[in-house]
Amino acid sequence: MTFKEQILQGIPTILPAKREYPKDANSAPKRKDILSVEEKKLAIKNALRYFPKAWHPELAKEFANELKKFGRIYMYRFKPEYKIYARPISEYPAETQQAAAIILMIHNNLNPDIAQHPEELITYGGNGAVFQNWAQYLLVVQYLAIMTEEQTLHLYSGHPMGLFPSSKNAPRVVVTNGMMIPNYSKPNDWEKFNALGVTQYGQMTAGSFMYIGPQGIVHGTTITLMNAFRKILKKEENPNGKIFLTAGLGGMSGAQPKAGNIAGCITICAEINSRAATKRHQQGWVDVLIDDIDALVERTLEAQKNKEVISIAFIGNIINVWERFDEENIFIHIGSDQTSLHIPWTGGYYPADLSYEASNILIRENPELFKEEVQASLIRHANAINKHTKKGTYFFDYGNAFLLESSRAGADVMAENNIDFKYPSYVQDILGPMCFDYGFGPFRWVCASGNGDDLDKTDAIAAHVLKELMENSPEEIQLQMQDNITWIENAKSNKMVVGSQARILYADAEGRVKIAEAFNNAIAKGEIGAIILGRDHHDVSGTDSPFRETSNIYDGSKFTADMAIHNVIGDSFRGATWVSIHNGGGVGWGEVINGGFGMLLDGTEEADEKLKNMLFYDVNNGVARRSWARNEEAIFAIKREMERTPNLKITLPNLVEENLLKDLF
């Protein structure tokens, strides 16, 4: 069968032969054995729903073995034979180009060069899934291939509920992931209901088909690092020879060494999984691999002495690095952590003094003891960091729930009021006031042609638009504008592309609309092929996350999720090609609600109208909410937007004098 025929087939008509699990695969951690016997039977019944009754006797035993071995039913037998990667959009079978664009993005998320655990359909974060199993994948791409412009595909946590009649102006796909009743949103609930096959953790851009490889976070990490160094260094100093110490080289965290190189510092990133570290080294995202702590000390001292710009992956535990650098009195200028602490008990964080392999066995065989080991290590980790911060290290939480889980373990990470953390979130200190409040966030695009020349042309278009906008930009956003012009002009030389021909930069509503409009005009003229627009969920409006995206909201509303819900609804009727809303995201199940969109630009007038309407709302919904929270930068930004857009009327806060509150209670 041809590639197109396999896509159109969906669930095969003849039962495929059983497949052996690849020996060299970077497999997902084995999940907790949490289901009762009756629940395991229910999980098998749920899985068999996808297949003809005649296959049930054989598949029931096979799926039961998968559940025993992996803690999940992935249906490996049904993984397609063809290679999965982002092909040019013209190679996909589809009745509508919008649907073909979505298949392209699904394939990009599952590309083994990009996906963390591709056999398990996991893109990043240890559990950030595109689908729960391969049957869902087969059905979804089939539905997309046959759908018309008057149908919408509804996905319930990876499961295609079906094609429903809609309209040309409706989204082609509506995605939800992990949307639990609030009282059933604890970590063990995810373990249970995911094992049953009724929900999944979509992370952020994994389950919304908008991941573009580590590049997607390189830009935000670069901006964060540049501004972190600006906070601690004198104006005339540069980061050369200064140390940034962190951990994690998996999916999103794999961007850290590349960002460190662009920012101009020494990056040391610890990773316990040698395969993940080796993969990043092979892809050119990290310069040096070291697996010996003595060699790491020696190489670090050499890099400091020579004021090098270099990234080093240490294959080992980050705790050993913090502790050894303290003993050697090696000064760490900036410290953070980007391990997957949103899933601390299932492979997101590995304890000190236990190997990667031994930890994975313990996760499966004695999860309670593993939890104790993780919590003891978090205390030890925090203690080591505290020693360095007393020497002057600037440490920030990178939104991975490090401080949250450390506090739950009893580590010394709380402020004197015992309410706040002693260290800030990077959003509180940097991205919130400098970017999100002004409306700047991670706007991204993918060249659907797969042509590198198209990417070069879009880079040039974006740079030209930003330069024009900067000429009339107020002083408050000049730094953001210049940082992004510098970024886009150097993006190609920094070799950002893994998988699809994609790019990301930070822009506000005006910038996003004008860049997208210029793209659509270029498509209409035949200068470039179709473009798929999107963004990270980690943005101005898309995510309500009290310990990350909305950590600089101080009016008490940071634990609400109205903004993210309004965003997905508002985008859906303003022209998005597909929309998504998730429970979970980067800081953990039950800790955040986040959403995103995708939009195909095809050079038509309809696309031009949709992009102006939707991109404007997608940003300014969040700026309005942040202004109502009394964030000074957001008040400035939304007032400026109302002057630019007479049809926009936002409720502004009346600020209260603090002395009025002194003797009220």
Task: State the binding site for NAD(+).
Answer: 125-126, 203, 271, 398, 586
DSSP summary character for residue 391: T
Cα(545)–Cα(293) distance, rounded to whole angstroms? 36
Give backbone dihedrals phi and psi of 550, rounded to 5 degrees, phi first: -110, 25
Instruction: Give the integer Cα–Cα distance in Å for 333 and 311.
Output: 15
C-alpha span between 397 and 305 (Å, rounded): 28
Q: Give all strands of the β-sheet with 266-271 in edge-to-edge order.
A: 288-290, 310-315, 266-271, 243-247, 334-335, 394-395
- Distance between CA atoms of 115 and 600, rounded to whole angstroms? 23
620/649 Cα distance (integer angstroms): 11
Q: Please state the residue numbers annotated as binding site.
A: 125-126, 203, 271, 398, 586
User: Are the CB atoms for 491 and 517 separated by under 8 Å?
Assistant: no
Beta bridge partners of 247: 270
Helix (H) or strand (E) segment spanning residue 310: strand 310-315
**Segment holding 145, helix H or strand E:** helix 134-146
- Helices marked H in 391-451 — which ranges? 402-409, 426, 432-434
Cα 281 to Cα 408: distance, rounded to the nearest angstrom = 34
Rounded to the nearest angstrom, the gap between the alpha carbon of residue 562 and the centroid of all alpha carbons in its chain is 21
H helices of 197-234, where? 215-232
The answer to whether the CB of 427 falls within 8 A of the CB of 592 is: no
376 vs 350: CA distance, rounded Å? 11
- Name the residue among 47, 49, 50 with its Cα closest to residue 61: 47
Element (H, E) at 593: strand 593-601
